[in-house]
Structure 1
Amino acid sequence: MKKKLPPLNWLRSFEATARHLNITQAAAELNQTQAAISQQIKGLESQLGTPLFNRLPRGLSMTEAGKAYLPVVHECIRRLRTATDEIFGQDKTRLLTIRSNLVFFTLWLAPRFARFRERYPHVGLRFSSHIWADNFNRESDMEICYGQGAWPGMAADRLTWDELIPVCSPAMSNGLQVPRTPQDLAEHTLLHVIGYEDGWGHWLDHSGYPDLQFRNQLQFDTLISALQVARYGDGIALGRSSLVSEMISKGELIAPFNQGVKTSEAFYLVRPANQYIHPHAEIFRTWIVEEATKGN
């Protein structure tokens, strides 16, 4: 039958007393009375069913059981103390938790993140990701979401002012040529991303081709997947200018025609309104809004 795990206070009293072989010194270290230390050690010995110390006329010595038990107890307490200090020490602040739209983090935030770390090395961050966020995650301090900017009970800072831009690989697959006019899209596979209000239909309507028919279409739940398929020449994606500019500058994608259409949707930094938030939240907010304004 397994022994019940002793209380932590009993183990701490045993470990300190074993190190000092002196109850008075152990009591001073743990800020307890000698009587309390003695009682906890007796309780531990009673629960374990064996003495851990030999009580001598002029001090203590350890029994064989005590000697065998001490290294394990000492290591457990040391690791617990180290972990507590690392995570909750006085000079530690809980990590600022930011839940970000996946494509925004990958294509917009990650390339700029080194500048934040260089400027604010003391700010600890924890990132999680989502594709489409319906509700604010209570475990997050702030979120980066896509939409019209109106979320009940939330304050939002706009981060992007996008145009919709058709993008594709410089070399298409299946022997197809890069489209030169919007009419050429009829011969290509259009890559749709579900979840956006403004998609291919919006772009075609505002570009003067509302009735254009297509040979093939594919659907994705995130823009990053559609852009990767486009990058390998297997279709035409509708990029957001803030997200595809770097891929275009690197030559990974091209914009075959100069017809961008503005969209009312955007990425926003969202946080609870009129509520306490993490002390480093304002630092991150100020920085990312500055980056967004610079990019715009």
Structure 2
Amino acid sequence: MMMSMWSFVEPLLEEAFFPACAPTYNGGRLPNSVEQLTQATLLRNDYSMWNDWFAQAGLPGQPEPCRGVLYQDASQQLQATVDGQGIGLVRRSLAMQEILSGNLVRLFEVDVVSSLQYWFVCPEPLHNSYRVRVLRQWLQEEVRLFRSNFESAGA
């Protein structure tokens, strides 16, 4: 991330991807091995991270899925996953609420860390102002709560 020397920059939250699906996907018969996952309907997106995930899960060389809809919006892919259209490689930050509510099931404990991250950025002269401090404290508390939720959910 390129910022001028006049900017205050602080990382807030890292992003990771993992496979998830609706509990009703495939009549409730969910893949229980990485090998079974290769035979499932894998939902695609512009991030093209299935290959990286399979390598992390011990199946290097597994190609990116090349059939089906290519979702260019992570929220649309997430909704298709919730709707049971296939297995999505979902962004943790977007999928967490669906996992906590039971609309999605995380399939494996393997994450692919993404280069996507959330940052707090503001002009350096303002970072100690009351309004910015309050906003920053609120964001930090939300991130702590989010991390606590995904740790307790096993996601």
TM-score (norm 1): 0.42
Amino acid at match of 1:274: E
- Equivalent in the alignment of 2:81: 230
The answer to whether residue 140 in structure 2 is matched with residue 283 in structure 1 is no
The answer to whether residue 101 in structure 2 is matched with residue 250 in structure 1 is yes
Q: 1:224: how far off?
A: 0.9
- Equivalent in the alignment of 2:90: 239
**Contact 2:51–2:61 under 8 Å retained in 1:** no
1:156–1:263 distance in 2 versus 1, CA, 3 Å: same
1:261–1:156 distance in 2 versus 1, CA, 3 Å: same
**Contact 1:186–1:215 under 8 Å retained in 2:** no
User: Comparing both chains, which one has the higher relative contact order based on Cα–Cα distances under 8 Å and sequence gaps of 6 or more?
Assistant: 2
Which of 6, 9, 18 is the matching residue for 1:165?
18
Which of 18, 21, 33 is the matching residue for 1:181?
33
Q: 1:186: how far off?
A: 2.4
User: 1:148-193: CA deviations, max 9, x gaps?
Assistant: xx132243332223432101111125x6842221222222222233
User: 1:190-219: CA deviations, max 9, x gaps?
Assistant: 22332x4x7222212222222225473432
Q: Identical aligned pairs, as a percentage? A: 24
Instruction: Give the distance between the partners of 2:16 and 2:121, measured in 1 at CA.
Output: 22
Q: Name the SS for the 2:14 alignment partner.
A: coil
Instruction: Give the distance between the partners of 2:68 and 2:118, measured in 1 at CA.
Output: 26
Aligned residue pairs: how many? 143
Instruction: Give the distance between the partners of 2:130 and 2:38, measured in 1 at CA.
Output: 53
Instruction: Give the distance between the partners of 1:276 and 1:282, measured in 2 at CA.
Output: 9
Amino acid at match of 2:16: E
The answer to whether residue 45 in structure 2 is matched with residue 193 in structure 1 is yes
**Contact 2:17–2:92 under 8 Å retained in 1:** yes
Q: 1:263: how far off?
A: 3.2
TM-score (norm 2): 0.74
Amino acid at match of 1:172: Y
Instruction: Give the distance between the partners of 1:179 and 1:188, measured in 2 at CA.
Output: 8
Where is the helix percentage greater, Structure 1 or Structure 2?
Answer: 1
Instruction: Give the distance between the partners of 1:181 and 1:229, measured in 2 at CA.
Output: 22
Instruction: Give the distance between the partners of 2:18 and 2:52, measured in 1 at CA.
Output: 11
